[in-house]
Each structure stands twice: as C-alpha cells, then as structure tokens.
C-alpha cells in the first residue's frame, strides 16, 4: 500500500508538514517599498486612463500610483478607498489581467503592464497596517437600512451608507462576514486572515452591526425587513449548484468545488484535509481553476480539469489557466461528463464524452473516454436560490433566475435594492459587487434623504 | 573606420573623451583606472598653492535630483579643490604621465589672484610633464569666498590678467575654465582670449540647492542641519552648457577659439552634440561618477559607429558643423510651417499629447473620434509647437512634418510660401522700416 504522497483514495497528509505553508503562501508577495517605487515610476499618468475606465469601481489609478511615487502611500490608499472600500481584497483577487492591467498602455507598448494590482495592495496595506481611517460618520440621519449578506456587495453598501450617517444592520447567513472573500477565494490569494481584517477595517467606521447566522428566508423574511427598516439592500451570493447531469453523480467522492474551497478556507490544519490522489474538476471558470490548483497544492498526484468547450471559451482568464498549468494541473477541453463509475459506493472512474460544435450547438461525438479518479469536483456554475425571497415572489421580479434591478440597483419591490452575484447582469467579480453595493447605497441615500439632503 | 584621435591645442589623446577635473581625477589610483578603462585624457583635480591643503566638510558633499526609476539627472557638490598635499599630487602626476605617455594629462590650477602665486606653481606643474594647464575660474563654492574660482571667473578683467601671467610663465598650453554663473558667457571668453588663452573649457558647475529636507528644513546636502549652495552638474545641465558653447563658438570676437565642452556629457551622442556646436573635445565627470569609468567604452564605440555611418572620417569633420546653424530668433524663417503627426501604429493611447495640448497649448489633438479613444492632430489648430512630441513616451510616434511650399496651412488657410522671411522684415515688427526713397 502506497503511503504519503501516493496514498490511494481520498486522504490527508500527503505532503510533509512544511510543504503546506509553502504551497499556500501569498501567490503574489507584497511589493516592498523599493519595489513599489520602481513599479510606480513605470506609470505614464495617462489622460482619461484606460486602466481607470477598465476598473468596475473606477479607481483613479494614475493618481494613486503617482501618490505612491511621491511618497504618499496613505494618500494613495484614500484615492483607492474613495471608490472601493474593499480595495485591499480587490488588489489581491481581481483578475487584473483582464481589467486594469489589460488596458494599461504599457501592455500595448511593451507587453508588460504596470503592476496595478500589486501597487494597490501596497498602498492599502500601508494604510490598513497603520489603522488609518479616512471616513467618519456625520450626524446620525435616523434612518435604518437592512443589508442582507456581508459579502463584498453588502459590505460596500453598508460602508457607503454609514458614511452618509445611516444605521445599518447586516444579516449574514454564515458564521463569519466576508462572503466569498472569506469562503470562496483561493487561499493563496488571501493569506493571513485578510478577509476578516478587512471586515474589521470596513466596519470600524461605526454604525454597522453584523448579525451572523441569519439567513434570509430562514431566520428573517424580506417582507419583515422591508417593514421594519427604511430600506433593504439584498447582497446575497449564489446558493444553488448546477447539477452535473451525469449518471451516478451521487457517489461518494463527488463534491461541489465551492464547498471544497470553503472547507479549505476554514480549516486550520491543511495537512488534515483529505484530498484525492486523482482529482478531476469539471468546469472552466475561476472556481474550477481555484479548486484544481488547491487540490494539487494539497498533494493530489494527478489533477485534471475537464471542460466541455475549447480553451477560448473558458471563463477563467489565460493567466489563471497558465497558473493552473504551472502548478501541474492538466486542462482538457471538449469533454463532458457522462457517468461516474463507482466501486463500493465510491467514485473510481469518470466516463466522459468528447464534444464538438454542430453549428451553434455543443454536441457529444459519441466517443468516450474513461479516466480513473478518486475525487470529482463540480465547478459548473452556481445559481441564485430564489426561494430565499419566499413570500415576496410577486413583488420582486427575477430575470434569468436572478433579481432584476434598474441602473441604480433598485428592485421591482419598493424600498428594496440589490447588488452583487444575486442580481442579473453582473459578472461574478468581487470588484463589480463592490461597485454595485456602493452605487446602490448612493441611490438608497438619495431616496431616504429627499434628493441627498439629510 | 573613423579616426577618433584628438589634438586639442597641441595636446594629443587617442580619443576626445577626457575626465574633467573632479573627484575621479584626484589621485593616481583613479586616473590609472580611468586610463585602463580607455579614457583619452584627464584634467587632474585642481591643485592649490603649496602649504596646508584645503579641508572638506566631513558630512555629505553631494546632493541630487532624480528622474523616473531614480535615474540621476542632476548632481551638485560642495567639495573643494584637492585636499591632498601639492607635492603628493605633483609626484603622482609625473608618474602617471610617464606610465601613460599617449594620454592627455592636464593640471587644473587654482591659486590666489596674485602674480607671485601663479609664477610659483607653474614651473612645479611643468616639471611633471603635464600636457597643459586648466585655470579653474569656475568653482562656485568655498573657494570663491576666498577670492578664487568663480570669484575670478565672474570678473573678465581678472581672467585676462591671470591668463596673461600664465602665458608669460609657462610654455604649456593654457585652457581657461569658465563659470556659467554669469549673465553673458561671451564676456569671460573674450577676456580669456584677450589674455592669450589657448582654449576655454565650459561649463563649470552651476550655483544650486538640490532639495530641502522636509523633516529638518535643511537644504541638501545637509551638514549638521545647514546647507550651502553647491555646484550643479550632470545631464540636467547639458542644455545650458550647449548653449554657452555655441555662444562662444559663433561670437565674432572668439570665433575659432578652441573649446573643451563640459556639462552633462553622458553618452556618445552628448559628446557629438557638443563637438558639432564647436567643442574640440569633451570632458566628463557626472556620468563616470554615476556609472564608473567603463562608460567611456560606450562613448568611444558609439561615436565611432555614428561617424562611420555618416562617413565622417576624423573629429575635424564634425567639430563646429552645427555652429553655423545656431542663429538669433529674429533670423528664423517665419514661413516655415510644420505640423505634428501621430503614427497610429506606434501610438499606445496614453493620451498625454492630448491633455498637454488641450490644457496647456492649442487644443489641436483629439481624444475621442466616433466614440473611440483616438488621438489625432487637427491640422487646422496645430501651430507646430512640438509639445506633444516632447511628452509622448514612445520615441518616433509623434513627429513634426514640414509642409511643402505651396501646400495650404489649414490653420491659416494660406499656402506655404517658398520664400524665407524672418522677423526683421515682418510687417508686425515696428522696427522693420523700409528706407525712405
């Protein structure tokens, strides 16, 4: 019987203890002072900068980089937080290669953008480590707002409302605040418990109460919130998981990638976390990549991502795909799962079918492939669990399974706004959720104060 | 292959790159290293009168300004002339000259403005076998307060007097080093010529304070909380030096007077520009102090390569070639019309040309065309000022393109005249009067 790295089945302790620390260290170590100055000097201070336009929260990137270069990192942090109070996390998790850094003119000029994300992290780290708070609550407005979900959208909304003097109560289903920042991001992108540090930093403005273990539809009802508060902001995540639609998918060893990541993020002993010797991840998005890489980092011998379309169709950025490859993950395209083959109730192999495009339609070719496997992670997308809105079904309209909002984040239900992953039209990015939460807060403030005047 | 050998007022060196009188040439150790690296000559760090040497501050001697990536753009110093014993310097100079007979070794000298002082030191220097002397009339700090350096260089009569003494008491060629801390550089140059100097060298350093420490409110470099103006040099002073070289080169009274060009020479290109404006050779300091002696290898190879490419065979082919093209503003052709042109293939869309033009110039560059980010010159607004060229981060992306005679200047609606016409005859010039019939 093989031991250690090559233990059969699903097992923990595949690696020497110190390997876990190394494997799950910061993906992009922070820039030190000198590195930040060198990098900041590369910025051209563009007019109407493309990076700024590419940022969903429209951070004034040239200005904050110039502030770093002139020795004013704290001022740079304020420039960032003015637009994005979760700028610290966004600096870590934003797919900058498809946002600001893709738009950077240095990318056009020489294929090497200014490292905007790392500079943003430098500035926000300086301010947060110094405990610098840039915002304070003015006189209390006397208005109360309920926010559902303490993820990026909810926190951004709550902070902006607090800035306007309102009292906010956040109802959060999970034991900790932070949403996907706490439960969903790959561990090597958010080290040292940063998600909780950021929650503390954001709520330090005051006037924000977080009630954990309070799920909408279970512990609290939307209609009640709408009655008891002056306004409600819905900032829930996606609770539903798409089914694999493969025969035998209820076998042991077939798991949701988001659950795996969530458990990984909450575990205090990574060595104890069991992982399959052979892992297959089904899907083509960021969750698939995060699950696959972390499987590898936990010591899985063989990790394969199977995606039913081609490389260009993957939601994961090229950078993320390369990161997976660099970590030894094999990405296979044009394969869809057909049948989980079990042995003693445990998944032992996955039968897949090759796919192809028939015009606009994806079809199976009939050719089959069977891969031996110990653990299968489903990362084929999540859905909004609309049943949490029960009792308000008529008042709040959905669109493609998510909440319909207008340009200001207003739902079709009076006094209720929404933002983040639960609304239609988003792009599942932390930074977009922050923008939506922030903008909804401005709309709420406007509505509560007669055109913004308290 | 281009011939870089230089003969400057009879002083021969294998190339025109000399190290200027400064810390890099303070002692045999450095000078030997410089010659090994390939420098054509050195001007030994300024010698003073026999007796107790000057003393330097024991804190920072240099201040600086930087460009992006902390690239040194300007350096200033409050160091004085050599703080080593005169005899030690003379002994080392003699030995070095013996070791390196093919290299130029010039002694920089600064003694009080008294005939006996000059008369005393010149034979001592001559005895070393030095190829020539350079009179330090430029040092702007410390020595000037004692009536030497710039204190002499700022009074043309003193310059003429001292140069005359030197020509009287030595057979060595005399190079007079000029201070830029005056209003009209032609005056001291004329005085030096009147005194019989063989050449002038310029510029010495510029009075400067590089920065202020915002914690202590002391100027930098700070000596126990106080600072003093120092001599400024390095790439940032090159344009000032080029202009002063050109002023002397094209002045009727000093026309033909050999010039040793100094001031921010960092690359072969800088050297070629100084020589094109009339310098017979160049002296370098800050570039060596920033990067070490090895940079001379880039200078030699670069100058050679450029001369080969252009078919210039010797330094005399290039020295002074640009001088006739330096003129007064009033003689510039007002009928010459150029327009900026942006190469869309090279444009990286940073928008700096647009905002520079929009905020500070003539509103002649678009930022958006048909809803797309696009930077293009509007010729009907462009006055051809060149600001966009200068702020563009991509070399060669924006160029100034002259309009041909007969083409319509869209800004004025007038065809470009083929005739040269300048301000002296322009109708708006109140001084332009036609002679009475």
| Residue of B113, B139, B388, B397 marked catalytic | B139
What share of chain B has pLDDT > 70, as a percent?
A: 99
Mean pLDDT of A203-230: 96
Q: Do A45 and B352 touch (CB under 8 A)?
A: yes
What pLDDT band is residue A1 in, cutting at 50, 70 and 90? Answer: very low
Does residue B298 lie within any of the structural domains? yes
Tokens for A435, please give them: 């923008």
Pair type for strands B279-284 and B17-19? parallel
Does residue B253 lie within any of the structural domains? yes
Q: Do A48 and B349 touch (CB under 8 A)?
A: no
Optimal mutation site among B215, B348, B357, B391, interface A, most CBs of chain A within 10 A: B348
Pair type for strands B17-19 and B72-77? unpaired
Tokens for A157, please give them: 């909304």
Measured between beta carbons, the chain A residues lying within 8 angstroms of B350 are: 44, 46-47, 105
pLDDT at site A135: 97
Tell me which of B304, B325, B346 is where a domain ends: B325
| Contacts (Cβ under 8 Å, ≥6 apart) of A285 | A314, A315, A316, A379, A381
Does residue B435 lie within any of the structural domains? no
Residue B227, preceding peptide bond in cis (omega within 30° of 0):
no
Optimal mutation site among A40, A70, A105, A114, interface B, most CBs of chain B within 10 A: A105
What's the pTM value of the predicted model, to 2 decimals?
A: 0.93
The CATH number for B367's domain is: 3.30.70.20
Task: Give the DSSP H/E element, type plus range, for residue B115.
Answer: helix B115-126
pLDDT tens digit sequence for A243-257? 888 999 999 999 999
Q: Is B357 a catalytic residue?
A: no
| Rounded distance between C-alpha atoms, residue B134 and residue B152, angstroms | 14
Tell me which of B271, B306, B325 is where a domain ends: B325
Same domain, B199 and B292: yes
| Rounded distance between C-alpha atoms, residue B34 and residue B293, angstroms | 6
Measured between beta carbons, the chain B residues lying within 8 angstroms of A109 are: 348, 393-394
pLDDT at site B431: 86
Measured between beta carbons, the chain B residues lying within 8 angstroms of A47 are: 350-352, 354-355, 367
- CATH no. of A144-238+384-448: 3.50.50.60
Same domain, B223 and B257: yes
Tokens for B94, please give them: 């003699």
Question: Per DSSP, which regions of B315-402 are E strands?
Answer: 338-342, 368-369, 372-373, 398-402
Of B308, B293, B294, B236, the C-alpha closest to B265 is B236
Q: For chain A, what are the domain ranges?
A: 4-15+241-381, 33-129, 144-238+384-448
CB B279 within 8 A of CB B220: no
Whether A144-238+384-448 and A4-15+241-381 are alike in CATH topology: the answer is yes
Range picked from A4-8, A76-80, A392-396, A425-429 for highest mean pLDDT = A76-80
Same domain, B30 and B64: yes
What share of chain B has pLDDT > 90, as a percent?
A: 94
What pLDDT band is residue A451 in, cutting at 50, 70 and 90? Answer: low
| Rounded distance between C-alpha atoms, residue B197 and residue B203, angstroms | 16
Report the residue from B69, B373, B393 with minimal CB separation from A44: B393
- Left if phi > 0, otherwise alpha if psi is -120 to 50, otherwise beta: which for A85? alpha
Tally of domains in chain B? 2
Same domain, B48 and B114: yes
Tokens for A181, please give them: 């920042």
DSSP letter at B3 equals: B
Tokens for A224, please give them: 């009640």
What share of chain A has pLDDT > 70, as a percent?
A: 97
Same domain, B205 and B101: yes
Tokens for B70, please give them: 């902390």
| Rounded distance between C-alpha atoms, residue B388 and residue B366, angstroms | 12
Taking the CA atoms of residue B215, residue B216, residue B222 and residue B228 in that order, the dihedral angle to the nearest 10 degrees is 120
Same domain, B29 and B111: yes
| Rounded distance between C-alpha atoms, residue A374 and residue B127, angstroms | 92
Q: Which chain A residue lies closest to B356 (C-alpha atoms)? A: A47
Which residue(s) pair with B63 in the sheet? B76
Report the residue from B367, B373, B394 with minimal CB separation from A109: B394
Asked if residue A416 has pLDDT above 60, the reply is yes
Which residue(s) pair with B174 in the sheet? B133
pLDDT at site A156: 98
In degrees and rounded to multiples of 5, residue B36 shows phi and psi of -60, -35
Does residue B170 lie within any of the structural domains? yes
Tell me which of B281, B302, B325 is where a domain ends: B325
Which residue ranges in chain B fall short of pLDDT 50?
none
Of B71, B196, B204, B102, the C-alpha closest to B150 is B204
Same domain, B37 and B184: yes
Contacts 24+ apart (CB under 8 A), B164-169: B164/B195, B164/B196, B165/B115, B165/B118, B165/B119, B166/B118, B166/B122, B166/B133, B166/B135, B167/B195, B167/B196, B167/B197, B169/B118, B169/B119, B169/B122, B169/B123
Q: Which chain A residue lies closest to B392 (C-alpha atoms)? A: A44
Q: Which fold has domain A4-15+241-381?
A: FAD/NAD(P)-binding domain (3.50.50)
pLDDT at site B166: 98
**Domain hosting residue B420, numbered range:** 329-425
Same domain, B66 and B24: yes
Among the four given CATH numbers 1.10.3720.10, 3.40.50.620, 3.40.50.1000, 1.10.1060.10, the one describing domain A33-129: 1.10.1060.10
Query: What distance in Å separates residue B361's CA from the closest CA in chain A?
Result: 15
Task: Give the DSSP H/E element, type plus range, for residue B230.
Answer: strand B230-233
Asked if residue A394 has pLDDT above 50, the reply is yes
pLDDT tens digit sequence for A44-57? 999 999 999 999 99
- Left if phi > 0, otherwise alpha if psi is -120 to 50, otherwise beta: which for A136? beta
Q: What is the ipTM of this complex?
A: 0.90
Contacts 24+ apart (CB under 8 A), A92-95: A92/A28, A92/A117, A92/A121, A92/A185, A92/A189, A92/A190, A92/A194, A93/A181, A93/A185, A93/A189, A93/A190, A93/A430, A94/A429, A94/A430, A94/A431, A95/A286, A95/A317, A95/A319, A95/A320, A95/A429
pLDDT at site B433: 66
Q: Do B68 and A42 touch (CB under 8 A)?
A: yes
Same domain, B287 and B340: no
């Amino acid at each position: 019987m093989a031991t250690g790295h090559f233990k059969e089945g699903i097992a923990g302790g595949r690696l020497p203890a110190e390997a876990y620390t190394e494997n799950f260290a910061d993906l992009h170590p922070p820039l030190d002072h000198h590195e930040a100055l060198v990098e900041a000097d590369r910025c051209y201070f563009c007019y109407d900068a493309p990076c700024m336009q590419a940022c969903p929260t429209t951070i004034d990137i040239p200005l904050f980089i110039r502030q770093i270069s002139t020795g004013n990192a704290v001022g740079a942090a304020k420039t960032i937080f003015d637009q994005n109070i979760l700028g610290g996390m966004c600096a870590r998790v934003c797919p900058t290669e498809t946002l600001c850094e893709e738009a950077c003119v240095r990318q056009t000029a020489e294929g090497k953008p200014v490292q905007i994300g790392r500079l943003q992290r430098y500035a926000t780290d300086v301010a947060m480590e110094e405990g610098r708070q840039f915002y304070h609550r003015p006189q209390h407005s006397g208005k109360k707002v309920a926010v559902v979900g303490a993820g990026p959208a909810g926190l951004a909304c709550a902070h902006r409302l607090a800035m306007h003097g309102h009292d906010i109560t956040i109802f959060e289903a999970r034991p900790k605040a932070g949403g996907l920042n706490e439960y969903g991001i790959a561990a090597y992108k958010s080290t040292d418990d940063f998600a909780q540090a950021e929650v503390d930093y954001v709520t330090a403005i005051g006037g924000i109460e977080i009630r954990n273990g309070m799920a909408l539809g279970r512990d609290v009802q939307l209609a009640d919130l709408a009655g008891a508060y002056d306004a409600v902001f819905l900032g829930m995540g996606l609770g539903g998981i798409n089914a694999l639609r493969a025969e035998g998918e209820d076998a042991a060893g077939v798991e949701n990638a988001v659950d795996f990541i969530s458990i990984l993020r909450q575990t205090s002993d990574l060595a104890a976390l069991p992982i399959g010797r052979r892992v297959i991840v089904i899907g083509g998005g960021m969750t698939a990549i995060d699950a696959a890489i972390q499987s590898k980092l936990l010591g899985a011998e063989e990790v394969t991502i199977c995606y039913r379309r081609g490389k260009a169709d993957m939601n994961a950025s090229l950078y993320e795909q390369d990161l997976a490859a660099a970590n030894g993950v094999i990405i296979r395209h044009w394969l869809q799962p057909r049948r989980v083959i079990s042995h003693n109730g445990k998944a032992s192999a996955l039968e897949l079918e090759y796919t192809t495009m028939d015009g606009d339609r994806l079809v199976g070719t009939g050719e089959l492939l069977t891969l031996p496997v110990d653990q299968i992670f489903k990362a084929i997308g999540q859905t909004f669990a609309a049943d949490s809105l029960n009792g308000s079904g008529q008042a709040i309209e959905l669109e493609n399974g998510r909440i319909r909002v207008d340009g200001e984040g207003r739902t079709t239900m009076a006094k209720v706004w929404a933002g983040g992953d639960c609304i239609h039209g988003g792009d599942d990015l932390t930074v977009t959720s922050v923008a939506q939460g922030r903008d909804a807060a401005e709309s709420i403030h406007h509505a509560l104060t007669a055109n913004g005047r308290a | 292959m281009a011939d870089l050998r230089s003969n400057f007022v009879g002083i021969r060196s294998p190339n025109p790159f000399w190290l200027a009188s400064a810390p890099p040439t303070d002692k045999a150790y450095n000078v030997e290293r410089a010659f090994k690296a390939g420098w054509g000559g050195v001007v030994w760090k300024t010698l003073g009168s026999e007796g107790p040497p000057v003393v330097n501050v024991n804190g920072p001697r240099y201040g600086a300004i930087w460009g992006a990536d902390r690239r040194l753009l300007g350096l200033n110093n409050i160091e004085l002339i050599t703080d080593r014993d005169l005899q030690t310097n003379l002994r080392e100079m003699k030995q070095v000259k013996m070791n390196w007979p093919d290299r130029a070794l010039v002694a920089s000298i600064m003694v009080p403005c008294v005939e006996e002082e000059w008369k005393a030191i010149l034979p001592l220097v001559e005895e070393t076998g030095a190829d020539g002397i350079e009179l330090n009339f430029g040092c702007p700090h410390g020595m000037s307060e004692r009536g030497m350096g710039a204190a002499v260089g700022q009074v043309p009569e003193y310059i003429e007097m001292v140069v005359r003494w030197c020509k009287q008491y030595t057979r060595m060629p005399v190079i007079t080093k000029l201070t830029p801390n005056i209003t009209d550089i032609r005056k001291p140059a004329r005085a030096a010529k009147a005194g019989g100097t063989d050449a002038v060298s310029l510029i010495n350093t510029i009075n400067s304070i590089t920065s202020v420490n915002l914690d202590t409110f002391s100027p930098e470099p700070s000596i126990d909380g106080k600072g003093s103006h120092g001599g400024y040099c390095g790439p940032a002073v090159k344009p000032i030096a080029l202009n002063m070289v050109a002023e002397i080169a094209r002045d009727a009274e000093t026309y033909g007077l050999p010039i040793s060009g100094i001031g921010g020479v960092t690359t072969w290109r800088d050297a070629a520009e100084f020589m094109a404006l009339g310098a017979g050779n160049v002296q370098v300091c800050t570039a060596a102090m920033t990067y070490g002696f090895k940079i001379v290898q880039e200078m030699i190879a670069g100058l050679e390569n450029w001369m080969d490419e252009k078919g210039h065979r010797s330094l005399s082919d290039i020295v002074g070639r640009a001088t006739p093209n330096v003129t007064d503003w009033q003689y510039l052709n007002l009928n010459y019309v150029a327009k900026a042109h942006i190469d869309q293939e090279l444009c990286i869309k940073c928008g700096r040309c647009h905002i520079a033009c929009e905020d500070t110039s003539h509103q002649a560059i678009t930022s958006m065309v048909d809803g797309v980010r696009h930077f293009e010159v509007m010729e009907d607004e462009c006055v051809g000022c060149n600001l966009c060229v200068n702020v563009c981060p991509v070399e060669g992306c924006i160029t100034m393109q002259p309009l041909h005679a007969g083409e319509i200047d869209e800004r004025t609606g007038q065809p470009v005249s083929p005739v040269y016409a300048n301000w002296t005859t322009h109708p708006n010039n109140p001084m332009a009067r036609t002679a009475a019939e």
